[in-house]
Structure 1
Amino acid sequence: MESLYTWLTSLNALLWGPPMLVLILGTGLFLMIGLKMMPLLKISTGFALLWRGREKGREQGDISPFQALMTSLAATVGTGNIAGVATAIFLGGPGALFWMWCAALLGMATKYAEVLLAVYYREKDDQGHYVGGPMYAIKNGLGKRWAWLGAVFALFGGLAGFGIGNLVQVNSMADALEVAFGIPDWATGLLTMAVIGLVVLGGIQRIGKVAATLVPFMCLAYLVASVVVLAVHAEAIPGAFALIFTHAFTPVAATGGFAGATVLAALRYGVARSIISNEAGLGTAGIAQAAGTTDSAVRSGLIGMLGTFIDTLVICSLTGLTIICSGAWTSGLSGVAMSSAAFESAMPGVGHYILSLTLVVFAFTTILGWSYYGERCWEYLAGTRAILPFRLLWVALIPLGAMVQLDLVWLLADTLTALMALPNLLALLLLSPVVVRLTNDFFAGRKATLYYP
């Protein structure tokens, strides 16, 4: 077992090392240039389309565009927005937040293209539901000889989901509730299993409704709590931005409990945590957006790219600023403990409780979002007959995740997640002419029908 763990650690370091980060950032830059900066210039258009909602009689899909985006956000806004940001700052210093922003801006182009292709090449399954994602974009966009690559994505995604989207999330929930409130891990596992089961067994319509209710509330609540922390440390905000921009390009020396960091560390950990948090480059968002009601893949892409904006440029930025402004980044703490110290500094006696509850809700919604991703991956591999067994297994594994140590599972899931990115990024590059053509047609007022095999 120890040799397996060592081997996986080496493989994980390779997969999430500089070559992968360059590939993901390079793909985002390539798409951003090809789209002539459109994702950045049309952010307001994306929000306008989101709030416009569904135009009845014209669009087809299983859930509303808003529900599709909230389902995608449910999966991405998770423990990475709290623990992941803190870890990036712990390892890379305040400058890591700058590189998170850069990666997210390029990631908007990547997310736009992922969603556009997922919706354009989506299909109807034999139950009448709309299904899409990188696997369908590969099969229908690149031709049958590439179908094996879609199956590779689905296999890696279907396996990774059980770890990163299920076991490790409920494990984080159980740890947070046990430390903050003394709730036994087994109780958290059983209660979570019951609630998740009620939602997941209802399919995408129920997941979409719950996500549309819960995700905006949790994001707004976290925003308010973070603003309170920043208000208490308001005088430190200008200095925090100075640290962020200064140490994005110059090393930061050891100070307090912080060990110091190089510019390369800030770049590496900032970019890596941004990608892991918002999942731009992994292709997952398109799976949820493909179920949304639409008559235009470009409209879906404009709405879908907002997920990266909200996840990283809003939620992760709030976490990072609270950590830097409060001085928690020099405490020597890491992960959730660092974020908890930041909240506790502004709200003594209650801050760590607020953060613990936030972590629980974030992890809960991630389980919901990834349940749909995993379901669609296994449906691609085995057909609709795989749906019910997958849902039952997904729910049954939850108590296990709450009660056991998952170091190996986390490492394996993290490695599989990186492997998901490779076929998706290849498809994005090969199908980029389709992305550019459909985008140009849309903004020129030319109607483009959706592709159906």
Structure 2
Amino acid sequence: MFNLIDFVGSISNWMWGPPMLMLVVGGGIFLTIRLGFFQILYYPYILKQTFGTIFKKHTGQGTVSPFQAATTALASTIGASNIVGVPIAIAFGGPGAVFWMWIVSLIGCATKFSEIVLGIKYRELNEDGQYVGGPMYYLSAGISSKAIGETLAIIYAFFTMIILAASVAAQSVSATQTVAVMGVSKITTGIILTILVSVIVYGGITRIASVSSKLVPFMASIYVLGALIVVLCNITTVPSVFALIFTSAFTPSAAVSGVAGSGLTAAMRWGIARGTYSCEAGMGTAPVAHSAATTDHPVRQGFWGIFEITVSSLIICTMSALVVLTTGIWSQVDPSVAASMPTLAFQSVMGDTLGGLLVSLSMLLFVISTIIVQVFYGEKQCEFFFGTKIAKILKIFYILAIFAGALGGLETVFGFLDVILGVTILPNMIGLILMSGQVVALKKEFFSSSKYYLKDIRHH
């Protein structure tokens, strides 16, 4: 068994090296060029259409509001890795990894935008009268070759259905470990989590979206405000930290203190990987949530994908980076325990109790929100294969995965997560590239129409 685990680990390391990064980042660059770098040129306008319209009523057809759809997707995107993943990237890639994380996040905007646009274009009304969509729908209906499209859709939905069950269990493990320091047993944590998530997810997308629209802003605000306090208490180091990020991104240098690797190659490798994971562009999960949104045009909802990346990667991940860099913790902790950096950084300013509690609370909320939405995503993959009635029954397996994860003993299963994730990304990225012309056409339609973009400009 240990040989099998080692073998799977070696496949995972190879897959998530150059092959997967070339596919995801290369695909993102291709889409960015085809879309005319719109995520940069129209960024101020996109912010107005997302952050600036959160409390406005939206026209069009849909099941939930655009903001609720975005926060539902964000609930899955923002996870414990937003807190501990960035310090790990810095530990092994040096401060320059942060710069490359920003770059790949900007590139990922084109990918996530394309996913959501196609998700809206090819969404369907299910038996319950709710809008559903995602890669499994746009792959099967949007590719000119029906055989290729349906094959890609089946591969995506089948392996996503599997990986979400394992991912739910993995998130449950994180929640159990987070509250274990408070003396709460695994069984108690598992029972509470299972009941809490069940009550929410069995209310359907409307209840999930309602909870997410309140939980996500709350949990993000707690963490970002706490991080701001830490950074402000070390404000004098901020200019030198930004200078270090930019110089380390382009200048090969020897490892600094406990940092395992701060050369140019290491900075790019870890920064690109962190950016890819944090924005989830190419994974295809976001359009599953966005397909339920009320919107008058696919492109307008696509803007909310850029909103997500702004919040998850460019705000939360950046704050995690600044916390460990401005306090100097990044150069004092051994890379093998890099996940402890955020807690140590918060404790250096707020004290052991308050600092540790704030990080633990943030991680717990991030994990719970992720579990809720991943159970919903799993149900939608089942629905694609079996319909709504059977999908509601199969949802129980995702609920049981929460309890199984809390009890532990699934470490062997978790070893397959990255490999299966790679298998799900492949058909989605192929589909996005094949259907990129459709995204370009919809983008041109939106930005040249007096009904959409030109009307917005005149209004402002």
TM over 0.5: yes
**Farther off after superposition, 79-88 or 331-340:** 331-340
> In the TM superposition, what whole-angstrom CA distance separates every residue of 1:67-93 from its partner, at most 9, and x where no partner exists?
000000000000110121121111111
Residues 120 and 298 of structure 2 are in contact (CA less than 8 Å); yes or no, is this contact kept in structure 1? yes
Residue identity matched to 1:372: F
Query: Following the alignment from structure 1 to structure 2, what is the Cα–Cα distance between the partners of residues 390 and 209?
Result: 23
CA distance in 2, matches of 1:260, 1:254: 5
Note if 1:230 corresponds to 2:226.
no
For the pair 1:347 / 2:350, whether they are aligned, the reply is yes
Asked whether 1:313 is paired with 2:317, we answer no
Deviation for aligned residue 1:447: 6.6
Residue 10 of structure 1: aligned partner: 10
Alignment partner, residue 332 of structure 1 = 334
Q: SS of the residue aligned with 2:378? A: helix
Q: Match for 1:152 among 144, 155, 178?
A: 155
Which residue in the other structure is 1:377 paired with?
381
SS in 2 for 1:294: coil
Give the 3 Å change call, closer, same or farther, for CA 244–405 of structure 1 in structure 2: farther
Specify whether residues 262 and 433 from structure 1 end up closer, same or farther in structure 2 by C-alpha distance, changes over 3 A only.
Answer: same
Map 1:85-124 onto structure 2 (within 5 A). 85-124=86-125
For 2:43 and 2:206, locate their aligned partners in 1 and report how far apart those are by CA, in whole Å: 27
The CA deviation at 1:344 is 1.0
Asked whether 1:291 is paired with 2:295, we answer: no
Question: d(CA) in 1 for partners of 2:188 and 2:67?
Answer: 33
After the TM superposition, which of the residue ranges 116-125 and 42-51 deviates more from structure 2? Answer: 42-51
User: What is the TM-score of this pair, normalised by structure 2?
Assistant: 0.93
| Aligned partners of 2:93 and 2:260 also within 8 Å | no
Alpha-carbon offset, residue 192 of structure 1: 0.8
**Ranges in structure 1 where 5+ consecutive residues have no aligned partner:** 449-453
Number of matched residues?
A: 446
Distance 1:26 1:259 in 2: 27
Shift of 1:53: 5.7
Q: Which moved more, 1:384-393 or 1:208-217?
A: 384-393
Deviates more, 1:181-190 or 1:354-363: 181-190
Contact kept? 2:58, 2:65, Cα under 8 Å: no
Does the aligned pair in 2 maintain the 1:54–1:294 contact within 8 Å? Answer: no
Moved more, 166-175 or 37-46: 37-46
Partners of 1:155 and 1:262 lie apart in 2 by 39
SS at the partner of 1:82?
A: helix
Aligned AA (2:71): M
Structure 1 match to 2:138: 137
**Structure 2 partner of 1:243:** 244
Q: Offset of 1:348 from its aligned partner?
A: 1.3
1:50-89 equivalences under 5 Å are 50=50, 51-52=52-53, 58-89=59-90
Out of 390-399 and 49-58, give the one that drifted further.
49-58
Gaps of at least 5 residues in structure 2 are 453-460
Structure 1 residue 247: deviation in Å?
A: 1.3
For 1:25, the equivalent position in structure 2 comes to: 25
Moved over 6 A (4+): 54-57
Which of 348, 352, 356 does residue 360 from structure 2 map onto?
Answer: 356
Answer yes or no: is the 8 Å Cα contact 1:233–1:346 preserved in 2: no
Counterpart in the other structure of 2:211: 210
> SS of the counterpart of 2:250?
coil
Separation in 1 of the partners of 2:437 and 2:255? 47
2: distance between equivalents of 1:329 and 1:252?
16
Query: Residue by residue, what CA displacement relative to the aligned partner does 1:1-40 show, whole Å, maximum 9, x if unpaired?
Result: 2122122112211221112112211111111111111112
1:170 and 2:172 aligned: yes
SS in 1 for 2:319: helix
Q: Letter of the 2:417 partner, please give it.
A: A
Amino acid at match of 2:26: G
Q: Counterparts of 1:274 and 1:306 in 2: how far apart (Å)?
A: 15
Partners of 1:360 and 1:227 lie apart in 2 by 20
Q: Report if the CA contact (8 A) 1:67-1:209 is conserved.
A: yes
Deviation at 1:259, TM superposition (A): 2.9
Shift of 1:274: 1.4
Quote the Cα distance in structure 2 between the aligned partners of 1:141 and 1:236: 51
| RMSD (Å), alpha carbons | 1.8
Task: Kindly state the Cα deviation for residue 235 of structure 1 after the two structures are TM-superposed.
Answer: 1.3
